[in-house]
Amino acid sequence: MSPSPPPDTLTRIAGLTEDASPEGIAAALRHLYPGHLTVTDYLDRIRDPDPAFVGAAFFLRREASAQLDASTITEASGWAGRALKAGNTQDTSPGLALAVLTRAVTLNEDTPALNLVPLIREGLLGLVGHEDLLHSSALQTALDELAQALDGCPHTRRLLARHLLQHGGDDPFYLLLSAIPGGSFLPSTDLLYWMEHWDELTAISADRARQAVRFEPPEDPESTARADIARRAHPTLAAATDFWNTYRHNQQERAAHAEAQQQRRFDPAALNTALDEVRAARGPSILSTWNQLLRCLRRTPDGSLPAWQSTGILTLAAQAPSRPAAGTGPARRLDEAAVHLLTELPPLTAPHFRSGTTARPPTAELTAFALVDNPQALHADPARWAGWAIALASNTVYSPGERDLQLTRRFCK
């Protein structure tokens, strides 16, 4: 250990702590603490560093709170409370004061003999008196670090919540709840704890107690069961969480909507599978595989509903949202699948066109014709061509484009 400087040297060094420069003050304080200043005197003299310069003042400001231990934290926490109550009216650092309270949270959690929560509470309530400072960017990092400390210290966090409920009015309580990131003295991780200790909160403040259960309901079965038991045991808790019923209903609707949207989202793999199944199908079974292929083509890239339009069967297929681009591999396979369907199904006959008939309508053939690139290349007997021609001629059209599509196919043979 280096020998202590002579008294006159100490006096000169102490005089430097009144310097206007945070750097000079920081250099002096490193010689004076610990050993020659009380914790209060030490913290009183630390100044915030120049934000544009990383030097001695910057590092001292970061290290000062970490220097505190169980033997000094009580005095330091008292200092922090006074500093925060004073706000910007003194030269002391509000950011340092919050850092001291953050250190107090950690030491209180780890040291059973300490009782720092009343001091932490007083410091935070003092800061609330300076709302502009509380919400300023200058304290954002310090508030983030306080939130992180509270997240890791459940015993101290819950004690602090009780103290703030009991000793702070509505305005200070809600200001702190909004200012500390995540409302960290009443976080969602304590939802079940406070539900199972509901009487403790309502005995202090029934209105503010609701903030402990402001979160969405738990999802896992065990937590849900515990929450339901607590709700049945306390009618006021059931009332405070009544929004859960609506939330769960909405959640089911959202899940159903998401599932429907997923079903409507275009899937290239599903299209490939559908194309393979159509080309492999034989006889009447091809109709179900063809319908699945049409559903794949009607899907959209983002799962949204296809744009509504007054359209006929031909356009429904020809302008499907996910019809492959001409000239691509999938487009050629689609053309082959359409040709396969047209030649695999039996010829259309008179019963297919009578009203009230039990025979299926020629929908499959019409959609397939709309997707064939070159109908003239179809090799079919006259009976098939006759059926296709009647189907095309009797099909209702709704637009000039659809009329053109109909005509090019009606007179292709």
- β-partners of residue 300 are 265
Q: In this prediction, what percent of the chain has a pLDDT beyond 90?
A: 39
**pLDDT one-digit tens code per residue, 303-362:** 887 765 556 777 777 788 899 998 899 999 999 999 999 888 888 888 887 777 677 888
What single letter denotes the amino acid at residue 133? L
What single letter denotes the amino acid at residue 263? Q
User: Which residue, among 357, 320, 351, has the nearest Cα to 338 in the 3D structure?
Assistant: 320
Residue 411 has pLDDT above 50, yes or no: no
**pLDDT one-digit tens code per residue, 57-102:** 677 778 888 889 999 999 999 999 999 988 766 677 888 999 999 9
**DSSP helix/strand/coil, 16:** helix
197: confidence class by pLDDT, cuts 50, 70, 90: very high
List the structure tokens of 379.
């090799």
DSSP string for 137-171: GGGHHHHHHHHHHHHT-HHHHHHHHHHHHHHS-HH
State how far the Cα of 214 lies from the Cα of 343, in Å rounded to an integer.
64
- Mean pLDDT, range 111-121, rounded to an integer: 95
How many residues are there in the chain?
A: 413
Helical residues (DSSP H) of 320-412, grouped into ranges: 329-344, 363-371, 382-394, 400-410
List the structure tokens of 400.
């000039």
- pLDDT confidence of residue 409: 58
Q: Name the more confident of 209 and 58.
A: 209
Give the domain ranges of the chain: 7-258, 265-410
pTM: 0.61
Host H or E run for residue 96: helix 94-110
User: Which residue, among 388, 393, 290, 291, has the nearest Cα to 348 in the 3D structure?
Assistant: 388
Sign of CA dihedral 99, 102, 104, 106: negative
**C-beta of residue 212 within 8 angstroms of C-beta of residue 200:** no
